[in-house]
Amino acid sequence: MGRLFITIPHRARTLYHVRYRVAIVLFIVALLQQHHLYFVSRQSLSEKYSATNFDARSGDLQARYWRPDDGDSRFQHELLANREDWKLLGEGFEGKVFAYEDSVIKTFIPGRSPFRNCAPNSATRWPTEIPASLRFGGSSPMDDIGDEASNDTKTAYNGFLPVKAHFMASTSPGDPEEWHLVTPLVTGGTLVTLAEKHSTDQKAKAYREIDALYRPAFNRLLENMATFHDAGYCHDDIKPSNIFIQDGSQWVIGDLGNVRETSHPYHSSRIWKENQQLADCRANDVVRALQSYLKFIQSCMVDDGAFNTALFEGEEPTSKLLWWTLADAPGMSAEQLRQRSIIEHPEAAPGREDAKRFPAPAQSHTLLRIFSKRVATKLAAEHALMTRMDERSARLWGLVWLFGVPDPGHCGV
């Protein structure tokens, strides 16, 4: 065998050794890169799933966590006794959502997504949405629940839904207990369902009519968001499906499971930056709120071609509002956007009198020009109004499928 190798020309043997060594070097570099991505991904996931500090500006919040009251116990017993009558509204990776009479019951499946916060006076964790809802929506006294059910007048929720009950219970004998969060049922649905209603209406409205109809509700939403931000917190997941419709003039911010304080490490994490979120989470909430509102208007249209075209012409109030906001996005506040929204009201005359105030709208990407102008404009509008957040890359490189999400640590009693 050795003789055969000796018969190979010296130059060929040299190339063989070079290729072999290059392959080893590339393998080592790839291994080091994989280790680097593993550690930075695990770190960013650890930052995302670290606890929200609700004690930063709320010294009396501890007393609101637990409400040992006979009315609570009766209400909880009634809910569980009538579990078969719960109507499934939807389900996802983290749990399920049910409706029962005038209540919405949200369940959280243990182990699916880590519970970030420690439950008070306990060694267990609970979903961040529960303390966040108590912090901003408050608790609804059981005495008031019966009054609401028998009263035709609608209760104002001040931008956030109150908590009717929260408890742990098993779905069936032998199953592990799950956290349950109970809030009032908002019959208007979300911006998504409201848009579906308008898009199937026989008397279709133009986008300016939709804007005129709902701009006051959007402005009030910004007021509530300003209060939220002034308290030192960000929602971090503003999107059409998380804005609930109490009525035509009152919208409610829901799904507070991603609420974090403004100084939370997630806001400077790799995941946050890779998703091109703004450094100031408050400005990020505001921009996402406007994108959600404009996405809602777009979804109301049977044919969104006129809306998409107007969005990039920069002359309509909705268009000017978007590009003005994006131009000043890093320092944008909810109150600033609300004031500008009042100026750029739906009845305002179209025009580019503010052309020097903000840059011209971005044109469609060059690659999109392989499509027709209509399709390219639609794709560009979809991109401009996108509110998606993605952590799949971090989960892949962090080997979450093998090791799970980083453990946030133990809770002390």
Q: pLDDT per residue over 295-313, tens digit each?
A: 999 999 999 999 999 999 8
Same domain, 166 and 303: no
Residue 39 within any structural domain of the chain = no
pLDDT reported for residue 166: 93
Cα–Cα nearest to 162, from 241, 64, 242 = 64
Same domain, 196 and 181: no
Cα–Cα nearest to 102, from 186, 193, 163, 189 = 186
Same domain, 232 and 375: yes
Same domain, 152 and 172: yes
Give the integer Cα–Cα distance in Å for 155 and 151. 9
Q: Is 40 exposed, middle or buried (0-12, 13-18, 19+ CB in 10 A)?
A: middle
CA 328 to chain centre: 22
Give the integer Cα–Cα distance in Å for 273 and 354. 31
Angle between helical axes of 281-300 and 191-199 (0-180°, round to 10):
20
Same domain, 145 and 223: no
**Ranges of H-type helices in 200-300:** 207-230, 270-274, 281-300
Angle (CA) 228-44-291 rounded to 5° is 45
CA 71 to each of CA 67, 102, 161, 219, 298: distance values in angstroms, whole numbers, following the listed order: 10, 16, 19, 37, 45
Q: Within 13 Å and on the Cβ side, how many CA atoms surround 165?
A: 30
CB 285 within 8 A of CB 224: no
pLDDT reported for residue 65: 55
- Tell me the per-residue pLDDT of 30-66, one tens digit each, with 9 for 90 and over: 999 999 999 999 999 999 999 999 874 444 444 455 5
Residue 111 within any structural domain of the chain = yes
What residue ranges of the chain have pLDDT lower than 50?
A: 56-63, 68, 143, 145-146, 148-153
Residue 30 within any structural domain of the chain = no
pLDDT reported for residue 373: 81
Q: Is 218 exposed, middle or buried (0-12, 13-18, 19+ CB in 10 A)?
A: buried
> Considering 137, 157, 185, which residue would you say is the last residue of a domain?
185
Same domain, 161 and 226: no
Give the integer Cα–Cα distance in Å for 114 and 124. 12
Rg (CA), the chain: 26
Same domain, 136 and 274: no
Helix (H/G/I), strand (E/B), else coil: 231: coil
> Considering 153, 185, 217, which residue would you say is the last residue of a domain?
185
CB 210 within 8 A of CB 297: yes
CB 383 within 8 A of CB 364: no
Q: Show the tokens assigned to 386.
A: 């996108």
Residue 135 within any structural domain of the chain = yes
pLDDT reported for residue 6: 56
CA 120 to chain centre: 25
Give the integer Cα–Cα distance in Å for 296 and 190. 10
Same domain, 196 and 282: yes
Same domain, 171 and 209: no
Residue 28 within any structural domain of the chain = no
> Considering 185, 212, 233, which residue would you say is the last residue of a domain?
185
pLDDT reported for residue 361: 59
Which residue segment(s) compose the domain that 318 sits in? 187-413
Same domain, 57 and 155: yes
pLDDT reported for residue 10: 59
CB 127 within 8 A of CB 108: yes
CB 328 within 8 A of CB 320: no
Residue 379 within any structural domain of the chain = yes
Same domain, 140 and 256: no
Q: What is the CATH number of the domain that holds 300?
A: 1.10.510.10
Q: What DSSP character marks residue 139?
A: B
Helix (H/G/I), strand (E/B), else coil: 400: helix
Residue 35 within any structural domain of the chain = no
Q: Which helix (H) or strand (E) segment is 118 a member of?
A: strand 117-118
Amino acid at 70: D
Give the total number of structural domains in the chain: 2
Same domain, 250 and 151: no
Residue 340 within any structural domain of the chain = yes
pLDDT reported for residue 20: 82
**Ranges of H-type helices in 201-251:** 207-230
